[in-house]
Chains A and B, each alone.
Chain A
Amino acid sequence: AQSVSQHNHHVILSEAASLELGCNYSYGGTVNLFWYVQYPGQHLQLLLKYFSGDPLVKGIKGFEAEFIKSKFSFNLRKPSVQWSDTAEYFCASRRGTGRRALTFGSGTRLQVQP
């Protein structure tokens, strides 16, 4: 069974600081990777996704993620966070074959202080 690990459970940053959230997945075959964000009281929204091609993926709101196959990683980055980035961030994976459901990590709560 595949799994997704997010090692940072709670991150506190000041505005303008750089952000990197870790994500590691376990499946060794073809894999699709996603980052979702959940703002307080809201549903999950897609930030970015990787299916194939360029391992550096750019998403909405200035976020990007890099797929490193050799490290089974898909870390999320943003060069300068804003207070409005305060949210919970979920990494998810999906195997390239078989069932289409996502496997989620446990999430990282980001708190940006003004």
Chain B
Amino acid sequence: DAGITQSPRHKVTETGTPVTLRCHQTENHRYMYWYRQDPGHGLRLIHYSYGVKDTDKGEVSDGYSVSRSKTEDFLLTLESATSSQTSVYFCAISESGALSDTQYFGPGTRLTVL
């Protein structure tokens, strides 16, 4: 398995509170991604990063921000959590973004917003 860890693995929080999820990789891969998984929707891209301090939005980025100050860490922040952000969040990494690239996924974080 690729060296990807996510923290925390489970979190329960209240509406309106800020939440930060962390993805850490030991593979020195350039690309990192945040997806959310919801029943009936598969996985949807929130944000991704193509290098330190280089990030871009995905299809469901509203209400989320990201930061990447080091190659190995990619943080996802919910500035003011809402119940619609209750989901399972997966981080993924890929080496170079080349056509032959493959994404590898972390173990996920289950977030519940009450």
Contact = CB atoms under 8 A, between A and B. Distances in A.
A11 interface: no
B103 interface: yes
B101 A44 contact: no
Interface residues of A, number: 26
A104 B44 contact: yes
Q: State which size class the interface on B falls in.
A: 20 to 34
Nearest to B6: A43
A96 B99 contact: yes
Given A43-B107, A44-B90, A44-B105, A106 B99 contact: no
A101 B105 CA distance: 12
Interface stretch (B13-21, B35-43, B62-70, B78-86): B35-43
Interface in A17-72: 30, 32, 34, 36, 42-46, 49, 51
